[in-house]
Structure 1
Amino acid sequence: MDRHIGPSFQIPSGSLTAFFVGSILLTVPIYDSLIVPITRRFTGNPHGLTPLQRISVSLIFSIVAMVAAALTEIKRLKVARSNPLAMDKRETVPLTVFWLVPQFFCVGAGAAFAYIGQLDFFLRECPKGMKTMSTGLFLSTLALGFYISSALVTIVHQVTGEAWLADNLNRGKLYKFYWLLAVLSLLNFGLYLVSARWYVYKETREVAAEVEVESMIGLELTETEARSHA
Structure 2
Amino acid sequence: MTILLFTTLNEKAFVPLAQKLTNNVQGITSLQRIGIGLVFSIAAIVGAAVVKKQRREIDLEFFIKEAPDRMKSMNTWLFLSTVSMGFFMSSLLVSIIDHVMKKSWLRSNLNKGKLNNFY
| TM-score of the two chains, using structure 2 as the length reference | 0.50
Q: Structure 1 regions of 5+ residues with no counterpart? A: 1-21, 90-160, 168-230
Cα distance per residue 1:129-164 (max 9 Å; x no partner):
xxxxxxxxxxxxxxxxxxxxxxxxxxxxxxxx949x
1:83-122 deviations in whole A, cap 9, x for unaligned? 2268747xxxxxxxxxxxxxxxxxxxxxxxxxxxxxxxxx
Cα separation, 2, equivalents of 1:23 and 1:78 = 31
By how many angstroms is 1:59 displaced?
A: 0.9
* Large movers: runs of 4+ above 6 Å: none
- Residue 34 of structure 1 aligns to a residue whose secondary structure is helix
Cα offset for 1:38?
A: 1.2
CA displacement at 1:24 relative to structure 2: 3.0
Tell me how far 1:56 sits from its aligned partner: 1.3
Structure 2, unaligned runs of 5 or more: 68-74, 89-119
The letter for the 2-side match of 1:77 is R
The one-letter code matched in structure 2 to 1:81 is L
Specify whether residues 166 and 72 from structure 1 end up closer, same or farther in structure 2 by C-alpha distance, changes over 3 A only.
farther
Q: RMSD across aligned C-alpha pairs, in angstroms?
A: 2.9
**Aligned-pair identity (%):** 30
- In structure 1, the partner of 2:60 is 81
Q: Does 2:47 match 1:68?
A: yes
- Opposite residue 4 of structure 2, the aligned amino acid is L
Correspondence 1:36-55 to 2 at 5 A: 36-55=15-34
Shift in Å at residue 61 of structure 1? Answer: 0.9
Report the structure number with the largest CA radius of gyration.
1
Pairs aligned (count):
74
- 1:40 shift after superposition: 1.1
Cα distance in 2 for residues equivalent to 1:27 and 1:39: 16
Distance 1:43 1:24 in 2: 25
Confirm whether residue 33 of structure 1 aligns to residue 8 of structure 2: no
Alignment of 1:115-194 (within 5 A): 162=84, 165-166=86-87
Deviation sequence 1:23-68 (CA, Å, 0-9, x none) = 4333211111111111111101122112221111111111111111
Q: Partners of 1:73 and 1:43 in 2: how far apart?
A: 39
Given residue 23 of structure 2, which amino acid in structure 1 is its aligned partner? G
1: CA distance, partners of 2:84 / 2:6:
37
Q: What residue is the counterpart of 1:217 in the other structure?
A: none
Q: Distance in 2 between matches of 1:37 and 1:28?
A: 13
Alpha-carbon distance in structure 2 between the residues aligned to 1:43 and 1:60: 20
